[in-house]
Amino acid sequence: QVQLVESGGGWVQAGGSLRLSCEATGVRFSMSVMGWYRRAPGKQRELVGLATTRGTTTYGDPEKGRFTVSRDAAKHTVYLEMNNLKPEDTALYYCYGYTDAERYWGPGTQVPVSS
């Protein structure tokens, strides 16, 4: 059974940095795509960034130059490096994986950013 397990969330002050990790378990091969979405309080879920096994990345908002998605295919892990965090980045961050025409989601990890 494929599962995505996030870690690294938690409180951070505005201007700070945080690194989220997500490991895919129960997979035999690297997922075609892994990445991150987020849902802020009272808002819809939005794309943060995705990365393919070849290292191609896609970001949901061109202004999110503060965020970087990267992968370690050998470890079936995707990372989200977040810098200069702002209170509006407060959200539940979900890990996402896509492989063999199936989509997978992690349970989410909270990232509250205090002003």
Q: Are 96 and 37 in contact (CB under 8 A)?
A: yes
**Is the pLDDT at 62 greater than 90, yes or no?**
no
In order of 37, 41, 98, the CA distances from 18 in angstroms are 15, 19, 24
**Is the pLDDT at 100 greater than 70, yes or no?**
yes
- State mean pLDDT over 85-106: 95
Q: Which residues are registered as beta bridge partners of 78? A: 22, 71
Segment among 4-8, 18-22, 39-43, 70-74 with least mean pLDDT: 70-74
Residue 63: what pLDDT? 63
Which one, of 90, 92, 94, 100, lies nearest residue 4 by Cα? 94
Burial of 31 (0-12, 13-18, 19+ CB in 10 A): buried
